[in-house]
């Protein structure tokens, strides 16, 4: 069995020589773990799933078995000569700490900023919506424009605007977002749009802990609230023509000008809409046309009685997507 030759010993000595040593051929440095500090502005927070105890323990076990396969990136610490700040690779650094490593492979890149960290983590899908929003908030506080932030992290202006919404959510929306009941930024923005129009209805809907919050259910919620809050004709006004009455009685099934609208109408008709009326649980009978605008047919859950009631006296409890 052959031993190590002089060339191999030379390569090993370079690895062990310290943080300034480099593997031949432009490879990564062997950075001393004790000289590396984490970035205080690391975009991922302690609540990020990648920083959970379980995730880091798994990573440490992998590092013990196979080593660190992807070098980390660091920059020189301007406030502490001879020390380094992590640009990217905080998880690998923490995993290596747990694995008891004395050195970690890495590259020094002094031309690195917080936007670069965000871009790299976004590309790996390692940032939560809250972490992205917090970064955008810090950049806005520095005086950066939304368009400049979008260009810096290679995202669209709409992406920036959606995440800015997360910075100032009303309490009911903040609660469901912060507790993880909803993580989809698009859903949060849809809820925000509905909340601005009818905050009490949306708050009541979110108050049901069993209510599933999805793009589909929020879409149905908005369609229901649009129907419920349509202005009613003034008292004493002349009755509408049969054609107009038919049109206003079923507003969600309006003219099929666009396939999307027809699909939305079908979705609402197939939904199961749970409501309260006179403190009694009921369901909206969406397939039954009401006599006039602003009313709907209800079926009580307790005795099956069917009545026609004003929508303003109905409290929405839950929307469940039905089968088409």
Instruction: Name residues whose C-beta falls within 8 Å of residue 144's C-beta, 6 or more positions apart in sequence.
Output: 152
pLDDT band at residue 314 using 50, 70 and 90 as cut-offs? confident
From residue 215, alpha-carbon distances to 66, 186, 189, 220, 319 in Å are 42, 8, 10, 9, 12
Q: Which two tokens stand for residue 108?
A: 């020094």
Average pLDDT estimate for 129-138: 88
- Note the pLDDT tens digit of each residue in 149-177: 998 888 889 989 999 999 989 999 999 88
Residue 176 lies in a domain: no
- Note the pLDDT tens digit of each residue in 1-43: 444 333 333 333 333 333 443 333 467 899 999 999 998 877 7
Query: Is 158 contained in some domain?
Result: no
- Output the pLDDT for position 76: 92
Q: Which of 110, 116, 96, 98 is nearest to 41 (CA)?
A: 116
Residue 304 has pLDDT above 70, yes or no: yes
User: DSSP characters for 247-265?
Assistant: HHHSGGG---SSHHHHHHH
Question: What domain range includes position 62?
Answer: 21-126
According to DSSP, the residues that pair with 307 across neighbouring strands are: 298
- List, in sequence order, every residue forming a beta bridge with 103; answer none if it has no partner: 32
Q: Are residue 90 and residue 212 in the same domain, yes or no?
A: no
Report residue 288 as tokens: 């039954």
Mean pLDDT of 259-286: 68
pLDDT confidence of residue 300: 85
- pLDDT at residue 123 in the model: 63
pLDDT at 233: 56
Q: Residue 262 falls within a domain, yes or no?
A: yes
What confidence score (pLDDT) does residue 93 get? 94
Contacts for 274 with CB less than 8 Å, ≥ 6 apart? 281, 282, 283, 316, 317, 318, 319, 320
303 and 205, same domain (yes or no): yes
pLDDT for 211-265, tens place per residue?
888 888 888 888 888 877 776 555 555 544 444 443 443 344 333 444 444 554 4
Return d(Cα 321, Cα 293) in angstroms, integer.
24
Q: Decide if 177 is inside a domain.
A: no
Residues 114 and 200 in one domain: no
Q: Report the greatest alpha carbon distance in the chain.
A: 104
- Tell me: do 45 and 121 sit in the same domain: yes
pLDDT per residue as tens digits for the range 39-87 = 887 776 677 777 888 888 988 998 998 899 889 989 999 889 999 999 8
Highest mean pLDDT out of 124-128, 211-215, 272-276: 211-215
| Dist CA 146 CA 127 (whole Å) | 19
Q: Let me know if residue 174 belongs to a domain.
A: no
How many distinct structural domains can be found in the chain? 2
Q: Higher confidence at residue 316 or residue 205?
A: 205
Helix axis angle, 185-197 relative to 215-228, nearest 10°? 10
245: Cβ–Cβ under 8 A, 6 or more apart, which residues? 239, 292, 293
| Same-domain check for residues 201 and 92 | no
- Asked if residue 107 and residue 221 are part of one domain, the reply reads no
- Residues with Cβ within 8 Å of 32's Cβ and at least 6 positions away in sequence, in order, are 18, 19, 102, 103
- Tell whether 210 and 294 lie within a shared domain: yes
Last residue of a domain, one of 126, 153, 171: 126
Domain boundary among 106, 126, 146: 126
Q: Residue 264 domain-assigned?
A: yes
Give the residue from 104, 126, 148 where a domain finishes: 126
| CATH number for the domain harbouring residue 268 | 2.30.30.150
Question: Under 8 Å CB-to-CB from 226, ≥6 apart: which residues?
Answer: 251
Residues 6+ apart with CB under 8 A from 267: 216, 219, 220, 223, 321, 322, 324
Quick check: helix, strand or coil at residue 279?
coil
CA 9/CA 2 separation, integer angstroms: 13
């Amino acid at each position: 069995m052959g031993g190590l030759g002089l060339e191999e010993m030379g390569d090993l000595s370079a690895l062990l020589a310290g943080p300034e040593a480099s593997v031949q051929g432009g490879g990564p440095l062997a950075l001393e773990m004790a000289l590396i500090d984490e970035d205080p502005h690391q975009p991922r927070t302690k609540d990020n799933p990648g920083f959970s105890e379980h995730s880091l323990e798994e990573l440490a076990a992998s590092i013990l078995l196979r080593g660190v396969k992807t070098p980390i990136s660091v920059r020189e610490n301007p406030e502490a000569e001879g020390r380094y700040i992590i640009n990217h690779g905080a998880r690998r650094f923490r995993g290596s700490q747990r694995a008891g490593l004395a050195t970690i492979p890495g590259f020094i890149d002094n031309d690195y900023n917080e936007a670069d960290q965000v871009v790299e983590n976004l590309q790996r899908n390692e940032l939560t919506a809250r972490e992205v929003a917090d970064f955008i908030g810090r950049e806005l506080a520095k005086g950066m424009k939304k368009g400049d932030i979008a260009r810096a992290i290679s995202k669209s202006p709409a992406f920036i605007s959606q995440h800015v919404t997360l910075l100032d959510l009303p309490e009911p929306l903040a609660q469901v977002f912060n507790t993880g009941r909803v993580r989809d930024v698009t859903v949060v923005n849809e809820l925000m749009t509905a909340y601005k129009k009818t905050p009490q209805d949306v708050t009541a809907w979110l108050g049901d802990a069993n209510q599933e919050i999805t793009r589909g259910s929020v879409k149905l919620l908005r369609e229901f609230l649009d129907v419920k809050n349509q202005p009613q004709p003034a008292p004493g006004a002349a009755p509408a023509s049969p054609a107009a009455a038919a049109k206003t009685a079923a507003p969600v099934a309006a003219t099929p000008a666009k396939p999307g609208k027809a699909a939305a109408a079908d979705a609402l008709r197939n939904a199961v809409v749970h409501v309260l009326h006179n403190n009694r649980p009921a369901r909206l009978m969406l397939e039954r046309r009401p006599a006039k605008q602003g009313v709907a047919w209800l079926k009580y859950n307790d005795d099956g009685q069917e009545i026609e009631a004003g929508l303003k006296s109905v409290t929405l409890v839950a929307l469940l997507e039905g089968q088409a």
